Amino acid sequence: MFGLDGKIIFVTGGNRGIGAAIVETLNQLGALVAYTYRSAPGPAARWTMQADITDPLIMAQAVARVEAEVGPIYGVVLNAGITKDNLFPNIPVEDWYAVIDTNLNGVYNTLHPLMPKLYERGSGSLVFISSVVGEQGNIGQANYAAAKAGMIGLAKTLGLEGARYGVRANVVAPGFTSTDMVKAIPDKVKERILAKIPLRRFAEPAEIAWATAFLLSPVMAGYITGEVLSVNGGQYT
Ligand code: NDP
């Protein structure tokens, strides 16, 4: 139904949280999932590798290995990400660089070795996992918001550049989602966030995963590119 059966999808940070839900959903849809992780592997998949997304050489190796060991990649989910929250004046330079390096430069490291192959083959679908914070900003998350907004600009540009080669690029912008990342937020802050979400709850990782599968799908989203799909319970429209 999704047209993802047998298609090779490469996911960064597929071992836990939203990434793990994406891997499980794509497994369910018959895709051949290859994913990277930093610390420890997660759900079963066709192919996995430990790879720090901030290392361009390792990511080029990961892409080359998937192509050699599994086959031609069709879809990519740019999911790996971190937070290092603080009010802007208090963000130490190393935390600024760490967040930009993981959340934005990591996307470059993943896609740069792969795009020529997708263009040559004339098909592909990229889904960037950005954030509602990249759309609206958030107090205490200047580094994260900058990186996540950067992902949107990159996705829109690759949507334009990739169109003539049959490569689509779209964004899922999740609202607050029940994973380790949100568990780390103090309870008081969580209550304040919940009060601003019309659906009055955080997203489940599977809800982000299905939106991702939709955009990856050549059947359902074959005419959608450069788009941002906000999955945020009505928090920001
Ligand atoms: P988690 O903290 O649960 O998982 C983060 C994932 O990113 C893990 O798989 C982690 O690997 C991986 N990762 C982090 N740094 C690196 C690195 N240097 N190299 C390789 N992998 C790395 O986060 P979520 O599942 O919540 O978030 C997934 C994505 O969704 C992120 O991009 C996040 O910004 C975004 N998002 C999350 C929201 C939320 O509320 N949870 C809301 C909006 C967007 P490892 O486990 O090995 O450390």
Mapped to the 3 state alphabet, what secondary structure does 5-54 carry?
Answer: CCCEEEEECCCCHHHHHHHHHHHHCCCEEEEEECCCCCCCCCEEEECCCC
Q: How far, in Å, from the CA of 234 to the mean position of ligand 1?
A: 22
Q: Are 230 and 236 in contact (CB under 8 A)?
A: yes
Question: What is the pTM for the complete model shown?
Answer: 0.98
Instruction: Kindly give the confidence (pLDDT) of every residue in the chain, 237 residues in length, as a single tens digit, with 9 standing for 90 and above.
Output: 899 999 999 999 999 999 999 999 999 999 999 999 999 999 999 999 999 999 999 999 999 999 999 999 999 999 999 999 999 999 999 999 999 999 999 999 999 999 999 999 999 999 999 999 999 999 999 999 999 999 999 999 999 999 999 999 999 999 999 999 888 888 998 999 999 999 999 999 999 999 999 999 999 999 999 999 999 999 999
pLDDT at site 14 = 98
Q: Cα(85)–Cα(94) distance, rounded to whole angstroms?
A: 12
Number of domains in the chain: 1
CB 56 within 8 A of CB 220: no
Residue from 79, 130, 136 to probe ligand 1 pocket by mutation (most atoms less than 8 Å from CB): 79
**Whole-angstrom Cα distance, residue 150 to residue 193?**
23
- pLDDT given at position 184: 84
Q: How far apart are CA 31 and CA 206, in angstroms?
A: 16
On whether residue 227 sits in a domain, the answer given is yes
Which ligand 1 atom is at minimum distance from the Cα of 17? Answer: 25
Residue 141 lies in a domain: yes
Residue 128 lies in a domain: yes
Cβ atoms of residues 64 and 36 within 8 Å? no
Task: Output the CA 23–ligand 1 centroid distance in Å.
Answer: 13
**Would you say residue 237 lies in a domain?**
no
Ligand 1 within 6 A of CB of 212: no
Question: Residue 1 falls within a domain, yes or no?
Answer: no
Task: Please work out whether the CB of residue 48 comes within 6 Å of at least one atom of ligand 1.
Answer: no
Whether residue 165 contacts residue 114, with contact meaning beta carbons closer than 8 Å, is answered with no
Active site residue ranges: 144
Q: Hey, whose CA ends up nearest to atom 2 of ligand 1?
A: 181
List pLDDT tens digits, range 28-74.
999 999 999 999 999 999 999 999 999 999 999 999 999 999 999 99
Our mutation pick for probing the ligand 1 site, out of 59, 78, 143, 181, counting the most ligand atoms within 8 A of Cβ, is 181
**The tokens of 41 are what?**
């592997």
CATH number for the domain including 212? 3.40.50.720
Note down the domain range covering 219: 8-231
pLDDT of residue 183: 87
Please report whether residue 207 resides in a domain.
yes
